[in-house]
Every structure is written in C-alpha cells, then in structure tokens.
Amino acid sequence: MVCPRERGKIKGLIAHNPFKHEDFEELKLREARPKPNALALSPKQVDVFLAKADEMSKPGYAALFRLTAGSAIRIDEARHYEASDIDQQRGLLTITPKKGWTTKGYRYRDIPISKDTAEAAFAFVKTRDTVTLDDKAVWNEIQRVRKAAGLPQFSIHDLRRAWASAVHANGASLKQVSVWLGHSSVQVTERYIRVFETGSSGHEFLPR
C-alpha cells in the first residue's frame, strides 16, 4: 500500500513548495558552475620565450617557435610547407596541399604574417632537417626553454592560442580568426580565444 505522501509525489501532487521542502533534496540536481576562461600567454610572455629560445635553442627550433607564434600554423603544417608558400611582399603564408599530405579538414588558407615571421618561415625551411620535429621532442624543447625563462608550463599549441587571442584582441573578427586558424567553425575558435593575465576584468564597465 502506498502512503498518501508517496501517492501524492507519484501523481505530481505535492502539498508543499518543492523548492522549500526536503523532498527536493532527493532529486540531487546540480547546476554546473561555468569555468572561467583560461588565460593565454600574453604578448610579453611570448616575446620573453622567443628571446630565450634564440639564445639557447638550435636554430631550427628557434625558427619554429617564431613561426608558430607569428602565424599560428599547426606543427604538422610547419613540417610540410615550402619556401614557395611564403609571399614576403604581400605578407602571406599559404597552406596548400602537398603530395601525400593534406592539412586538417582539408582547410587550406592564406595567413597574414609580418616581415619578421616571414624571415622565420624561410629560416625554418632551411634548418628544419637539423632538428627532431616529433611532438615529444618539440614539447621537451619548449619545456627546457620556458623553464629557463621562468614561464608557466605551455605547449606549442598554446603559442597558436596566444596568436589567436592577440589578433582578436586587436580587432580581428572571430570569423576572420577562425578562417586563419583553419577551424571548422567559429564555435571551435571561441574555445581558443583567451583573456590575457594583464587584461581588464571588465569591472570598469559595471554601472556605478
């Protein structure tokens, strides 16, 4: 036999306010707390890292780090681009198909680069055969350099995120950044964009 209290719950007839009654605790509903956006490496931190890499890394690694920080190309793309893909006059690095290789999602694109990044791209083409470019080797070299520079732990992909965050903060639309990164959607890019540690929290925009 079902007691009146339980029968009322089954039929959806509860005499008490469920938001105040102890029966509500049985549901054990929890609303997830949104996590704050992760911090990106600031432009100053990136500069510190690149300067330290120039000082202590082999030229191939130093050029790779400058290339990634200045164009946000993936490491697999860096392994396959050619000098002919660099248009220094127009300031573009083109990611295009190669024999036996395609980029992620077949998304080929033109990425705007500075003169310094173009020089790093040419330097990397000349020196990349002198260094080991598998993921573990690149990770280990980044950790060696960033520790010497007194920086927090990060990966080469974080240089890509830092580039995206910086160009977006400087006015590039989310859609344009998404195209440059070769993302499948703007939603993916939204997860890339980070706030800088030295940036404003936005509190100054709150009503007084």
Summarize pLDDT for 57-84 with one digit per residue, the tens.
999 999 999 999 999 999 999 999 999 9
Summarize pLDDT for 31-54 with one digit per residue, the tens.
555 454 566 788 999 999 999 999
Ranking 124-128, 131-135, 202-206 by mean pLDDT, the lowest is: 202-206
Does 134 score more than 90 pLDDT? yes
* Domain locations along the chain: 42-196
pLDDT given at position 181: 95
Summarize pLDDT for 174-199 with one digit per residue, the tens.
999 999 999 999 998 988 887 665 55
pTM above 0.85, yes or no: no
Q: For 42-196, CATH number?
A: 1.10.443.10
Mean pLDDT of 142-149: 97
Mean pLDDT of 13-41: 57
Does 24 score more than 60 pLDDT? no
DSSP characters for the chain? Answer: ---HHHHHHHTT--SS-TTTSGGGGGG---PPPPPPPPEEPPHHHHHHHHHHHHHHS-HHHHHHHHHHHHH---HHHHHH--GGGEETTTTEEEE--BTTB--GGG--EEEE--HHHHHHHHHHHHHGGGS--SHHHHHHHHHHHHHHHT-----HHHHHHHHHHHHHHTT--HHHHHHHHT-S-HHHHHHH--EETTS--SGGGS--
Mean pLDDT, the chain, integer: 84
